[in-house]
Amino acid sequence: MTGAEEISCEKFFGGLQKKYTVFSKELSLKTEINFYLPPKAVAGGKCPVIYYISGMTCDVDIHVQRAGYQRYASELNLIIVSPDTSPRGAGVDGEEGERNLGTGAGFYLDATEEKWKKHYRMYSYVVEELPEIVKAAIPQADLDKVGIIGHSMGGHGALSIYLKNPDKYKSCSVLAPILNPINSPLCQKPFTSYLGSDKSTWGQYDCSEILKNISEESFKLLRPILIDMGTMDKYLIGGELLPEPFLEIAKKRGLDLNYRMQDGYYHAYGLVSTFMGEHLEHHANLLSSI
């Protein structure tokens, strides 16, 4: 990772919404990151960090405009860090033109197939490299108090990352997540393209499989998880989000889970912006107890 360069800054609710560009060693190219600094951080105070990871087809800026987190982050003194959803401009044949593969659809995994594996390493970028970027660029970040939140494809990413790393992340919440991607019609092509046809390798990025196989030692580190789904979500109705396996495993294992069905809500930013305040309160409450 080379030094981050600030390329924009705008004031929101007394805090600052900043965008940086940085060369990522994991992605082998330049990428953009958005940071929201609440007033306390702007004044130099330490604040907890929430990683917000977005959904399929989103770019690095859509959530800044539509998720509505700045007001709540300002009030709760939370730094929000938002990476892109995939590498951009990698030059991989086939990365443009399909909504669920390539640009905008990195699925927060490390590709192993030759065609994709150099650049499509979103799991290692988010989990290993991004905290180092934050540490260098935002000295106000309290990296002992870190949570992760995601929407849709980013919900799959956030929850799978959390379940695999409960020692690194102290809070997690997701909205409209893909909860069983190895069986989701939406994920068959990207998972095959990135990871190959051997489905036994896919489970390491599947929330349901991770929860089923998590060790007792790691399970004990998990803290309460909040999930919101909309009853009018066409991807839920169409059998692409597949919450049932996850909910069954969660019940068997005794996971502390608040799973909420929100009446009348669809899949996108109506759901996200409406319940963002409650999600960030969930994080703030858990992180304040550390």
Structurally, the chain folds into a number of domains equal to: 1
Tell me the residue range of the domain where 84 lies: 5-288
The candidate with the shortest Cα–Cα distance to 162, out of 148, 151, 144, is: 148
Residue entry with tokens 């002992």 = 144
Per-residue pLDDT of the chain (290 residues; tens, 9 = 90+): 457 899 999 999 999 999 999 999 999 999 999 999 999 999 999 999 999 999 999 999 999 999 999 999 999 999 999 999 999 999 999 999 999 999 999 999 999 999 999 999 999 999 999 999 999 999 999 999 999 999 999 999 999 999 999 999 999 999 999 999 999 999 999 999 999 999 999 999 999 999 999 999 999 999 999 999 999 999 999 999 999 999 999 999 999 999 999 999 999 999 999 999 999 999 999 999 98
DSSP state of 252: H
Chain centroid offset of residue 185 CA: 21
Q: Which listed residue (63, 119, 151, 267) is catalytic?
A: 267
In sequence order, which residues have a C-beta less than 8 Å from that of residue 92 and are 6 or more positions away? 102, 115, 116, 119, 120
pLDDT of 234-250, one tens digit each?
Answer: 999 999 999 999 999 99
CATH code at position 75? 3.40.50.1820
The candidate with the shortest Cα–Cα distance to 242, out of 122, 150, 155, is: 155
Active-site annotation holds for 267 = yes
Q: Are 1 and 133 in contact (CB under 8 A)?
A: yes
pLDDT of 61-100, one tens digit each?
Answer: 999 999 999 999 999 999 999 999 999 999 999 999 999 9
Residue type, 106: G
Q: Which listed residue (54, 82, 152, 160) is catalytic?
A: 152
Active-site annotation holds for 233 = yes
What is the dihedral angle through the alpha carbons of 281, 283, 284, 287, rounded to the nearest 10 degrees? 160
Q: Cα(137)–Cα(34) distance, rounded to whole angstroms?
A: 11
Active-site annotation holds for 152 = yes
Tokens of 238: 């169409």
Q: Cα(255)–Cα(219) distance, rounded to whole angstroms?
A: 8
Q: Which listed residue (151, 233, 279, 282) is catalytic?
A: 233
